[in-house]
Structure 1
Amino acid sequence: MQSLRVVDPFPALRDEMPSQGTIGDRVRGLRLNRRMSQAQLAGPDLSDSYVSLIESGKRTPTPVVARLLAERLGCTTEFLLHGIEPRQRIDTELGLRHAELELQHGDSAVAADRFTEIVKAADEENAMLTAQARFGRARALEAQGRLGQAVEAFERLRREAAAHPERLADLPLTIALSRCYQRAGDRLRARDLAAYALEQAERLSVTEGEIAVDLAAALVEARSEREGDTPGLAYVKRVLDTTGVPHVVDRSGEVHALWHASSAAAAGEDSALAVRLADDAIMAGREARLALQLARAAMHWSRMATAPIDEAEQLITGASQVFAGLPATAREYGESLVVHARVRLRAGDLAGAVELAGAALELSSDRAGTTPAEARLVLATVALARDGNAAADLETAYRTLDGLNRPVFGTDRQAARCWRELGDLYGRVGSTTQQTAAYRKALEAAGVRSAMAGVTADATVSR
């Protein structure tokens, strides 16, 4: 999706007022700019020694005193306390919203750049805005597949959250880290983080909303295929039972229209309206974001051999409808059709499995993922069940996997799973040479590389 061009959200302040440093630095700088003595600033209400203590950082003015000093220094109370003017703050808020829209509906690389600019422009007195921008940048790195850098950024933010819980919440960071480690191939670390996040969510009774949905998806993705029932799976089931997999309408046109209107309002110096329109655009896309995460969780749930067939059928049908209704999720739609075909296999519906696998093959004409190979494995399984003649489908699956491109998160692990299944099928038909070759390929795919190897984070925007 083409990104929108927005105005610079960080115009220079019109007044020559010192914005860096502490409250005391700003009080002293403004007082000297106005050629006032400490006694003059203190006036009849304060003592000059108290003003001196504020300027030296030994006292922090109360809101009442800050308002009084701001009136005498000719600035706003917000500027005195936080080093930022209302117009500058609203422009920064607007910049954060436009960067978020870029991340969700535009170009993640552009989003990373915009979050970075916000980090560079904000100062230490506005640590919360800076933290929000750094969190956005880490998510943008993850969206680009730069997992090593994303992990380092999220880890730094977790350390900051531990020291400053008023700036950052640890739970969303822990979930994001679990997701990144899972996609990078470190399943053990991903599971540990997901388990810790689950403890926090259970303690707070968080079972609905974006955090709950994100956690459910992380828990079911980090689960081992051979793992039995766990507290994590119980939580996933609770979230799915509570929320279901909702039908979703593609509102991307509305999102981009509101985004464009917000940019136009910003260009016309109407920042308050621009922020409101950007908020409307973000909320218009929220339903689809939640539905996609729920659909992913439902798809992984339905993949489990232990999931009741009726329940799996209902969940994977809902997930496929979500993926089919959103143009950016064609790959996941094909994947969901294969999962549905496997559910039909478990139910003994061979014809239904063939139909769904065939539809997945038609949809997945490119070779960006394992879906074509998985569809062939389903067809081979059906052929073995019917007449034992699966040679053609097994050979096609082998060629498909052998020529697989791997630009998609998790493809190496998915390929390893497919190679192992192919080896099992070759064993069933007595082709020991091909079985051995497929198992060897499975081992190679499982240990191809770490997505985080040799990658260091860009420390230039770290605080």
Structure 2
Amino acid sequence: MDQSQSGTNGVGQRLRELRQKRGLNQQDLASADISVSYVSLIETGKRAPSETVLKALAARVGCTVDYLKTGRDDARVKELELKVAFGDMAMRNGSNGEALQSYSEALANAPLLGEQMVRRARLGQALAFEKLGRLEAAIQLFSTLHEDPAVVAGSVEWAQVAVALCRAYREAGDQVMSVEVGERALRTLDQLGLDVTDDHIQIGATLISCYYNRGDLTQAQLLVNRLTALAEQNGSRVARGAVYWTAALVANSSGRVEESLALTERALALMAETDNARHVSLLKINCADYLLDTESEDLDRAQQLLDEAQEAMLEVGTAAEQARLETAWARLALRQGAPEAAADRASRALGLLRNEARFESAFTRVVLAQAQFERGEAREGAETLRAVERQLGTIPANRNTAMVWRLVGDLWQAHGFTAEALTTYQRALSGVGLRPLRASSKVVAPLS
């Protein structure tokens, strides 16, 4: 095939690929001056279109004449790369909807972009879906990237995708898959024998949170111990902060509240100088929550932490993260003896969560119920607790849901609803894997 034929065939191939990608048929490209058969001849490389025909066809498939001729359109490529960069910036600023739109527009023209830029846009799109609560779509995209042979195991890109997939499964309530992804990633790193990097430490930190959600505090603590040593030896301030952040979560769940406070303060000190205002704010909310879990009367410190977190959360926090802040404010108001303010804050948090069937909104409703009881609204408080129970029935059981069941039981008990409290405590035990005895079973007394 001579040079002219080769160039003609390239034009036809690019025209066919773009047409099919946009869901068009050959008739869609035809006009009074361009017949369907002529389009077919161009696509098969049997005719070389004129400049006029090229211009008309390029307009119909959404590309430039230069792209049809050469496969390159430097101005268009630059424009699409800027869209991806804008998506990255929008994500950092918390504008997740704008980010998703930018990534999607770039991916609509994926044939014009290089493979690495396409993967970057797909990862950004998946992260935007995750931030917007569209976890099923996010998991599908993360999984495709995780299985892509071009994403080299052990690379920064691979580690970022592994962390994101592990986290998305965790947020979706699939604790089995979240742990499986995290453990498989750590095994891969061990087998590769690579030097420990911040990205590797982040995989472990995410896996710790998955163990926590599954209720496996022993495995979580063992991994905390391993990662703490690695982070202190090889990690940056951010990596060490991430480890102490998750270590605090495990310590708090094990009843070591003072230790969790110390670990969170240490994480804050490490991450305070970074430019990730969102993470620092989330840590401050955690620290305030841990203070409120104690009998400490240092409520001014909790208020200071929430004040400092509020500005950044309003700018870069997701709706769920802003709701966490409102719930923390509600808890503080209860400790300050202001149930009216607590109810207002809790209601605002539920509005941000849009009544989704999530652990966060169930927990917030418990706080709202407590405020209602303290305002003397026993009937409203009881109705709110029953709404919590209905909601918990739609969420996969894990340690978090068991904790909320326990809080519901405590409120029933505190306000004289003994039968309801007993039922709720049983649900709490079932949530951590302890099933009730069958009626015919006998309780065996322990050996003395």
Q: Give me the TM-score of the superposition, normalised by structure 1.
A: 0.50
Are 1:194 and 2:182 matched, yes or no? Answer: yes
Counterpart AA for 1:332 = L
Alignment match, 1:139: 127
Contact 1:245–1:291, Cα closer than 8 Å, also in 2 = no
Instruction: Go from structure 1 to structure 2 and tell me whether the alpha carbon gap of 1:183 and 1:319 turns closer, same or farther (over 3 Å shift).
Output: same
Q: Is the 8 A contact 2:145 2:161 kept in 1?
A: yes
CA distance in 2, matches of 1:423, 1:207: 50
Q: Matched residues in 2 for 1:373 and 1:245: separation?
A: 37
Alpha-carbon shift at residue 242 of structure 1 (Å)? 3.3
**After superposition, where does 1:61-210 map in structure 2 within 5 Å?**
98=85, 101-102=88-89, 105-106=92-93, 107-116=95-104, 118-123=106-111, 127-161=115-149, 172-204=160-192, 208-210=196-198
Deviation, 1:176, is 1.3
- TM alignment of 1:24-423, pairs within 5 A: 98=85, 101-102=88-89, 105-106=92-93, 107-116=95-104, 118-123=106-111, 127-161=115-149, 172-204=160-192, 208-224=196-212, 227-243=215-231, 293=242, 296-297=245-246, 300-301=249-250, 303-307=252-256, 309-310=258-259, 312-321=260-269, 322=271, 328-329=277-278, 331-342=281-292, 345=294, 350-352=296-298, 354-360=299-305, 362=307, 364=310, 368-377=322-331, 392-393=337-338, 396-407=341-352, 412-420=358-366
Q: Is the 8 A contact 2:202 2:242 kept in 1?
A: yes
Shift of residue 316 of structure 1?
Answer: 0.8
For 2:327 and 2:164, the matched residues in 1 are separated by 30
**CA offsets 1:90-134 (integer angstroms, 9 cap, x no match):** 969965983574255455445444544554545499545533432
Change (3 A) 1:338 1:220: farther
Shift of 1:369: 1.5
Which residue number in structure 2 is paired with residue 267 of structure 1?
none
Give me the whole-angstrom Cα distance separating, in 1, the residues matched to 2:97 and 2:297: 44
Letter in 2 for 1:305: S
Q: Distance in 1 between matches of 2:184 and 2:170?
A: 15
Match of 2:47 in 1: none
- Counterpart of 1:239, as a letter, is L
In the alignment, is the contact (CA less than 8 A) between 1:112 and 1:140 conserved in 2? yes
Instruction: Call closer, same or farther: CA 1:306–1:166 in 2, change over 3 Å.
Output: same
Letter of the 1:335 counterpart:
I
Distance in 1, matches of 2:232 and 2:329, equals 27
State the AA in 2 paired with 1:355: D
Tell me: higher relative CO, structure 1 or 2? Use CA pairs within 8 A at least 6 residues apart.
Answer: 1
Residues 115 and 433 (structure 1 numbering): CA distance in 2 closer, same or farther, change over 3 Å?
Answer: closer
Question: How far is 1:317 from its partner?
Answer: 0.7
Code of the aligned partner of 1:414: E
1:442 to 354, 377, 388: 388
Superimposed CA distance per residue, residues 291-325 of structure 1 (whole angstroms, 9 cap, x where no aligned partner): 77557535534543345744x33321133343697
Identity of aligned residues (%): 14
Residues 96 and 379 (structure 1), Cα distance of their counterparts in 2 relative to 1, 3 Å cut: closer
CA RMSD of aligned residues (A): 5.4
Letter in 1 for 2:166: S
TM-aligned CA distance change 1:120 to 1:288, over 3 Å: farther
**Range 431-440 or range 214-223, more displaced:** 431-440
Moved over 6 A (4+): 19-22, 83-90, 408-411, 421-428, 430-435
- TM-aligned CA deviation for residue 339 of structure 1: 3.3
SS in 1 for 2:217: coil
Query: What letter is aligned with 2:361?
Result: A
Give the residue type in structure 1 aligned to 2:139.
V
1:292/1:323 contact within 8 Å kept: no
The 3 A distance-change label for structure 1 pair 296 and 172 is: same
User: Do the aligned partners of residues 188 and 231 (structure 1) sit closer, same or farther apart at CA in structure 2, a change above 3 Å counting?
Assistant: same
* TM-score normalised by the chain length of structure 2: 0.52
